[in-house]
Amino acid sequence: MPAIVIIGAQWGDEGKGKATDLLGSRIDYVVKFNGGNNAGHTVVIGNQKYALHLLPSGILTPGVTPVIGNGVVVDIEVLFDELDALIARGVDVSKLRVSANAHLITHYHRTLDKVTERFLGSRSIGTTGRGIGPAYADKINRVGLRVQDLFDENILRQKVEAALDQKNHLLVKIYNRRAISADEVVETLLSYAERLRPMVADTALELHHALEAGKNVLFEAGQATMLDVDHGTYPFVTSSSATAGGASTGSGIGPGQISRVVGIVKAYTTRVGAGPFPTELFDASGEFLRSQGFEFGTTTGRPRRCGWYDAPIARYSARINGVTDFVLTKLDVLTGLETIPVCVAYEVDGVRFDEMPVSQSDFHHAKPIYEEFPGWSDDITGARSFDDLPVAAQNYVLAIEKISGSRISVIGVGPGRDEVVVRHDLLGDW
Ligand code: IMP
């Protein structure tokens, strides 16, 4: 029963697609267990480029059953936009399964996300504006709408009216916006219900059967460890569990069924939105990483903040997630640098921290302590084995492996799906 979890080990956009591509045809199910259409992955197949936000990447792999788990928040309008775009390009989407317990994002969640961010001004989180936070807030507040509510019009109407009773007061009296009509929300949701019905399932039960039958099930986290609502840089986080534990609560499989946790880590660091980022660069080096790595958001198009590799964060992620293997992505982006600084620890008010400080204020003030490693100038995109890499690149990988808390099993050396060096098979014996 091989359940393998893939998580982002930094602040997102580490390139999880590298690992999913590599596992490709050996996977039977790909499960999204957290987040919603705030994610963004670009998948390149042949000369076709697909930008997915809500759908699990497995939707593009023939033979794979893609699953949207109960931990996801589903914007049903986006779901069908993405499905229709894929259908128009000849992709078979008929295998998609959607949990009856997943929560829905509606018009009022999107509106509230945007107005609260505006209201926060300089204290804003820099959310994607997709309604993620308000939808999860409703879930925890027990006033959310679930996929199964679409099939009982009375219940749906009652729930929408109850939610809007309170939210319209907020919108009108605090935020000076127009009230949202419950009828319109209900009508929009119901207009998708019949199309959604055949996809809706008890996905926890289906995954249980799949694992019992020895199928390979891949759990793919949205966002990343440092954006996790419990373990990330709160409050500058997303509102879901983006760490390996979330794979269990967000899909309904037992934690004991997880056999492998793959952490995706970039050879440097990026972040979108506000919040602390000790190794952030504001100089030409930051510009170099942004332009070489094409670091612009898939979902919002925002330029990503860029900085050097941060080993305490990798170690923290290895620990919080129980990472068994790292996939180091975008090593090629560092080609051409004379020396490459790596953050090995922090200094906070004269005190050295080898691990992530638990206090948010300390982390805000953390200054990176760097070690420098020699760079390389040879193009590495053609490397397919570790020995093909220039010695300086090998040494960089070995040095960061030593201080990052787990072995580096795969190295990304270029944007193409085959541009990888595999040191250990992610599904092989450990
Ligand atoms: P939200 O998920 O839209 O509520 O945004 C909360 C924070 O998470 C913001 O800083 C976003 O920029 C960040 N975020 C959300 N999704 C992603 C992602 O897929 N990659 C990187 N950052 C993300």
φ and ψ of 5, to 5 deg: -110, 135
Work out the pLDDT band at 95, boundaries 50, 70, 90: very high
Greatest Cα pair distance in the chain: 67
Residue nearest to atom 21 of ligand 1 (CA): 12
Give the model confidence (pLDDT) of 191-238 as tens digits: 999 999 999 999 999 999 999 999 999 999 999 999 999 999 999 999
* Ligand 1 pocket member 226 (CB < 6 A): no
Q: How many CB atoms lie within 10 A of CB 80?
A: 16
Give the model confidence (pLDDT) of 76-92 as tens digits: 999 999 999 999 999 99
Rounded to 5 degrees, what angle do the CA atoms 301, 364, 289 make?
A: 40
Residue 344 has pLDDT above 90, yes or no: yes
* Ligand 1 pocket member 273 (CB < 6 A): yes
What percentage of the chain has pLDDT greater than the value 70?
A: 99
276 C-alpha to ligand 1 centroid (Å): 14
Residue 181: its pLDDT value, please?
97
237 C-alpha to ligand 1 centroid (Å): 7
Question: Hey, which of 55, 57, 127 would you mutate to test ligand 1's pocket, going by the most ligand atoms within 8 Å of its Cβ?
Answer: 127
Residue 130: its pLDDT value, please?
96
Work out the pLDDT band at 18, boundaries 50, 70, 90: confident
Work out the pLDDT band at 430, boundaries 50, 70, 90: low
Mind spelling out the 3-state secondary structure of the chain? CCEEEEEECCCCCCCCHHHHHHHHHHCCEEEECCECCCCCEEEEECCEEEEECCCCHHHHCCCCEEEECCCEEEEHHHHHHHHHHHHHCCCCCCCCEEECCCEEECHHHHHHHHHHHHHHHHHCCCCCCCCHHHHHHHHHHCCCCEHHHHHCHHHHHHHHHHHHHHHHHHHHHHCCCCCCCHHHHHHHHHHHHHHHHHHEECHHHHHHHHHHCCCCEEEECCCCHHHCCCCCCCCCCCCCCCCHHHHHHCCCCCHHHEEEEEEEEECCEEECCCCCCCCECCCHHHHHHHHHCCCECCCCCCECEEECEEHHHHHHHHHHHCCCEEEEECHHHHCCCCEEEEEEEEEECCEEECCCCCCHHHHHHCEEEEEEEECCCCCCCCCCCHHHCCHHHHHHHHHHHHHCCCCEEEEECCCCCCCEEECCCCCCCC
Residue 413 has pLDDT above 60, yes or no: yes
Give the model confidence (pLDDT) of 368-407 as tens digits: 999 999 999 999 999 999 999 999 999 999 999 999 999 9
Residue 137 has pLDDT above 80, yes or no: yes
Q: Which two tokens stand for residue 2?
A: 């091989």
Residue 352 has pLDDT above 90, yes or no: yes
* Ligand 1 pocket member 36 (CB < 6 A): no
297 C-alpha to ligand 1 centroid (Å): 10
277 C-alpha to ligand 1 centroid (Å): 14
Nearest to 15 by CA among 36, 34, 43: 43
Full-model pTM: 0.95
Work out the pLDDT band at 300, boundaries 50, 70, 90: confident
Residue nearest to atom 20 of ligand 1 (CA): 12
Peptide bond into 235 cis (omega under 30): yes
Residue nearest to atom 10 of ligand 1 (CA): 273
Nearest atom of ligand 1 to the alpha carbon of 227: 8
Residues contacting residue 327 through CB under 8 Å, at least 6 positions apart: 15, 18, 19, 22, 262, 263, 264, 265, 408, 409, 410, 411, 412, 426
Residue 25: its pLDDT value, please?
79
Residue 30 has pLDDT above 90, yes or no: yes
222 C-alpha to ligand 1 centroid (Å): 9
Residue 281 has pLDDT above 70, yes or no: yes
Average pLDDT over residues 134-153: 97
Residue nearest to atom 15 of ligand 1 (CA): 38
Task: Choose the catalytic residue: 41, 53, 109, 231.
Answer: 41
Question: Hey, which of 238, 240, 264, 295 would you mutate to test ligand 1's pocket, going by the most ligand atoms within 8 Å of its Cβ?
Answer: 238
